[in-house]
Structures are given as C-alpha cells and as structure tokens.
Amino acid sequence: MTPAERSRLIDSLLDGEISEADFLRIEAELLVDSDVRAEYYDRLKLQLLLEREAADDAEAANHAEATASRDATTTEAAVGRADLPTRRAAYLLTAAALLTLAASLLVILPRIVPSDADRASLPAGPLAATALPAESKAKGFALLGGQSDAVWDGPAVESGSLLPAGTLKLISGLAHIELFSGVQMVVEGRAEFSIESPMEVRVARGRVRAYVPDAAKGFRVLTDQGEVIDLGTEFAIDVGAAGTRVDVLDGEVELRHGGSEAQRVLGGQSQRLTAAGIKASTDSGEVSIVSPQEFHRSLDRRLVERVQRWQQRMASLRTQSDPIAYYRTDPADRWSRRWDNIARLEAEDGGGTETLASDGAIVAARRTPDRWGRPDAALDFSRTGSRVRVDVPGQYQNLTLITWVKINSLDRWYNSLFLTDGHERFEPHWQMMNDGRLFFSVKARQRNQDGAAAQHIFYSPPIWDASLGGQWIMLAVVYDTDAQRVTHYVDGKAVSREAIPADHLVDTIRIGAASIGNWSEPMYRTDPEFVVRNLNGSMDEFAMFSAALSDEQILNWYQAGNPHE
C-alpha cells in the first residue's frame, strides 16, 4: 500500500465512507504498523480539532450577531439569549476556558438520571449525531444545594441533583444553587433564571443573593437591563420589570448598561439598573434575602423540628390500632444489622408479643440518607441480594402495610416490597410491576386446585413512572375482610379499591418467614411466574397492622411523615 493510498483510506475511514474491503485492508495495516497508527491518531486529532474550530467559528458568528442585535435594540429577550452559545474561541489555552468547557461538557450531565431509559432513547445514527454538537453548546451547570418550600414550574428538582439546562422557574420558596465555579446563590421565588455557564447566570425576574469566591471573580448576572459583574465577594439583586436593584453587601461589583461605561459599586452601596441607565437606588432598606449559610442553618433547624414532630406523631399513630411491626432505621447506629421492630420494644413493656413480628435482619442492604436527608437513616436495597428478613408468627383477619420508599427504577419485572417466602396458602405478596402498577395478593388456595386461580391479584393503575425516580413516596395497602375489599394508597390517597371475590376471601392471613425489599428462595421452584428480585430503591420505614386502617388513618400517617412540605 502506498503512503498516499494509506492516507486516502484513513481519510475515508474517518469520514465514515469506507467500503468493507478497504476497511479490512486498513485494519490490517493498522494492526501491524505503528507508523500507520501514528498517522491514524494524527488524523483523528485533526478531525477533532477541526470540529472544535468549526464549533467556535459558528459561535463567534452567533456572538457577533447577538452583540449587533443587542446594540441595536439595547434590550434582549432572555429566551432568545438562552439559545445562544457561550463558548468562546481560544479557550483551550486559558483557565477561563476551562470553566466554559466544563459548562459545555457538563450540560450532558443532567441526562444521566434515568440512565437506562435514557440510553434506550439515546439518539443514534448520523442524523442525531450531526445535530448534537449544535445542541450541546453550553447552557450551564450547577447543583441544587438545598431548597426550602420550593415550588418549581415543571418537574421537581431534588436537592443535591444537577439543575437542568434552560430556563428555570421557581414559583415560590428558596433555592440554594451551587455553581461549579464555586459561586453560591440563593434564589427566592417567584424567579425566572437560567444558568448559562458556571460563570454566567441570566435572571429575568426574582431576588438573588450571590457569594462569589476569589476563584470565580468575574462571575456575572445578566438581566434585561444590563449586567452585574462581581469583582469579589457578595451582592444581592432584585430583578423586576421596572429594573434591577443591586445591593453590594461586601466587596465590589461592576454594572454595565448597553454601550455606556461600566460603573463600579462598592460594598454598602445600592444602585438601580433600568432601561434608561444606571442610577442610585432610592429604595429604602435592603434587598432582603438570606445568605447561603443562613439558608442552610435555618434549613437544619427546620429539619430537626420536623423530624421531632414526625416522631412524636408517629408514636401515637402507630399504637392506635393493632401494630404487628413498625420498623424504622436508627441513624445513630449505622453498623447495626438489625431493623428494630419498635412495636415490639414498646409491647415488651406491657407484655404480649406473641403476635408481633420479629426484629428484622438486614442482609446486604446498605445505609443511605432517609427522606429527611439524614445520613444512614434508610436502607438501600439496590445491591443484589439485599433484603430484610422477618418472621411474623400470628394469624390475622385483616392486614395493613405501609412503607416510605424511594424507587430508583422499576427495572425488574417484579419489584419487591414485602413478600412471604415462596407463596403458600393464606400468604400475602406486595410488590410493584415494571409498568408502575402495585400488586397485592393473598393466596386463597393451593395452586390448580379445582382448576381455579390460586389467588386474585389486586392491581392498582400505574402509579409510578420515571418522573418519580429518586423521590420518596408513601405506599400503603389495606386488606379489609369486613368490607371485603382491597385498597391501594399512594401518598395517603386511595388510588384503587377492589372488592375481594367471595371465593378468594381469606380471614386467616399468615405470613411466617418473609422478606422486605426482596423475595426469598421459593419453596417450589416450578412456579415460572416469579423470579427473585430485589427492589431497586430505598426504604426508611415499614409498618404492618393486623387491622384495616381507614382512609383517614392512612392520610394521617402520610401527613405526619411527609418530608415534602
């Protein structure tokens, strides 16, 4: 093969237009000749860099356009701007570039979340790929550090997760945002903003307080009326339709308005950016918004209060009607492999524990933060083999099961909540189907007896989809033999009610050996419907009653333990 031919083959290989015969030829050369590989790498680098240059070039053009339109109109709609790229030429050689690059690189991160679902929908093929470079131009990158009473327009954002790109609308409440440049922001709703890069945030409306560390000097906030550029430390702004008020709390900021000269504002000073220009603020008082530290301190205080209130209320709720078990994780004892049945501890004082469930034995499940965000206070069942083994000796006429659960995904056909070992007569099974339906059954008779179904399965409609991924929800099911019906509950509300067919009514429910979060070794291996499957998710509470709790009692349970309000 001549060097020219070699180059041609490498070129068409990289262009994706090589024939199979040529592919095999060049592959053979690549394998045996390190010079050919060196040329291959060099050409790859050239391709990569050309793409980068081309992207920068396109951006430079866009930027020029944007600047021109800004000069022409002096104002610019936030929405229009959000689509504009923010990467700049020559960034490879500067650290600033690093930040910008980080932004463009990390825009993709919000796509991580439902990885399986995502991967399935991952665009493939030439069309998607050629379109992608244009889309991936930076929007921004930041974590939601915490939130208080935050209501988002759109899907809820969980604390600690990455903020999605594009315009974010906080309808009410406070949000603490950590940008990867080190900038800390508290945003108060109603606010509308977008994170354009770790160094640039656009605010269309709302109050924002920003703490800017040295490493992020030059951080800027863009508003319709102009720009606020931080030259160090802390400022608060209030963006409204009439203009932007800027209070410099500490350090110094620079204000820019249209083409006019930049103006420096020192700590303690207050200015207004309006469509007409920059002027001294005549507003009294200051922009009232807490600092990130104050925000977290108050969040911590509130959390302690709420957890206390929850525990007090649970103490009375769980004793109200025939508890068999109340499992809760003690965060203080993180290495304990026992899930204490608190109902048992309490009953032991008064005697009579024969019909109560045993303490749980934790197998493989790991500690994880609970719904209140307290570390080590929940069990994560996602590791294979995870389960809590329990023994429930009694025989019951009615049954109520309640749990707070965080499901990562329903990636198994059956996703266990609570299942007796095997599936014997009179035993309950509670789990979720992969389409999001809840499944509950009590086996009424042995299989194939009289040719009739052994059990009636009470399904709820689908109640879970990927949008609930990673969120704590409360699930409950009530098997009520008096009213002869089964009710499924989600977050305190009944989602389905179904009569128990007379020939499937079981008023001698037995449990015996069972698993929470998994299904243990079936007694018979011939039942093809079942596969051993652990729950891909976490639980921080599990309760069982030998009574049929009322709608109101379930709702109370939910309200007492709801971490979301």
- Among positions 123-162, residues that touch other proteins (CB under 8 A) are 123-134, 136
Work out which of 82, 84, 89, 361 binds other proteins, going by CB under 8 A.
Answer: 89
Work out which of 1, 5, 35, 50 binds other proteins, going by CB under 8 A.
Answer: 50
Q: How far is the CB of 450 from other proteins (least distance, A)?
A: 47
Work out which of 5, 35, 53, 149 binds other proteins, going by CB under 8 A.
Answer: 53
State whether the Cα torsion 263-267-269-274 is positive or negative: positive
Q: How far is the CB of 142 from other proteins (least distance, A)?
A: 11
Q: Which is nearer to other proteins, 215 or 242 (CB)?
A: 215
Residue 341 near residue 394 (C-beta atoms within 8 A): no
Phi, psi for 75 (deg, rounded to 5)? -120, 160
Name residues contacting other proteins, limited to 227-266 (CB under 8 A).
Answer: 229
Using CB under 8 A, which of the segments 7-15, 383-391, 421-429, 544-552 binds other proteins? 7-15
295 contributes a contact to other proteins by CB under 8 A: no
Using CB under 8 A, which of the segments 93-101, 392-400, 440-448, 502-510 binds other proteins? 93-101
CA–CA distance, 197 with 195 (Å, rounded to integer): 6
Q: How far is the CB of 84 from other proteins (least distance, A)?
A: 14
Residue 141 near residue 198 (C-beta atoms within 8 A): yes
Q: How far is the CB of 432 from other proteins (least distance, A)?
A: 24
Q: Which is nearer to other proteins, 100 or 487 (CB)?
A: 100
Q: How far is the CB of 466 from other proteins (least distance, A)?
A: 16
Name residues contacting other proteins, limited to 189-218 (CB under 8 A).
Answer: 199, 214-218
Work out which of 54, 242, 280, 345 binds other proteins, going by CB under 8 A.
Answer: 54
Q: Which two tokens stand for residue 169?
A: 């609308």
Q: Which is nearer to other proteins, 71 or 503 (CB)?
A: 71
64 contributes a contact to other proteins by CB under 8 A: no
Using CB under 8 A, which of the segments 111-119, 363-371, 443-451, 492-500 binds other proteins? 111-119
180 contributes a contact to other proteins by CB under 8 A: yes
CA distances from 365 to 327, 474, 512, 516 (A): 15, 20, 21, 11
383 contributes a contact to other proteins by CB under 8 A: no
Q: Which two tokens stand for residue 132?
A: 């992608």
Cβ-Cβ contacts under 8 Å for 6 (sequence gap 6 or more)? 26, 29, 36, 39
Work out which of 114, 182, 277, 462 binds other proteins, going by CB under 8 A.
Answer: 182
CA–CA distance, 380 with 224 (Å, rounded to integer): 46
Q: Which is nearer to other proteins, 407 or 511 (CB)?
A: 407
Residue 202 near residue 194 (C-beta atoms within 8 A): yes
Q: How far is the CB of 61 from other proteins (least distance, A)?
A: 9
CA–CA distance, 194 with 188 (Å, rounded to integer): 14
Q: Which is nearer to other proteins, 106 or 363 (CB)?
A: 106
Count residues binding other proteins (CB under 8 A): 84
Instruction: List, as one string, the DSSP characters of 492-524.
Output: TEEEEEEEPPGGG--SSEEEEEEEESS----S-
Residue with structure tokens 């499957």? 533
Work out which of 94, 288, 311, 384 binds other proteins, going by CB under 8 A.
Answer: 94
CA–CA distance, 542 with 418 (Å, rounded to integer): 9
3-state SS assignment for residue 256 = strand
Instruction: List, as one string, the DSSP characters of 442-490.
Output: EE-S-TTGGGS-SEEEEEEEE---GGGTT-EEEEEEEEETTTTEEEEEE
Other C-beta atoms lying within 10 Å of the C-beta of residue 83: 12
Nearest of 466, 468, 485 to residue 564 by alpha carbon: 468
Q: How far is the CB of 24 from other proteins (least distance, A)?
A: 8
Work out which of 43, 412, 425, 447 binds other proteins, going by CB under 8 A.
Answer: 43
3-state SS assignment for residue 227 = strand
Work out which of 1, 5, 35, 44 binds other proteins, going by CB under 8 A.
Answer: 44
Q: Which is nearer to other proteins, 30 or 532 (CB)?
A: 30
Q: Which is nearer to other proteins, 261 or 450 (CB)?
A: 261
Q: Which is nearer to other proteins, 104 or 281 (CB)?
A: 104
Give CA 183 to chain center in angstroms.
22
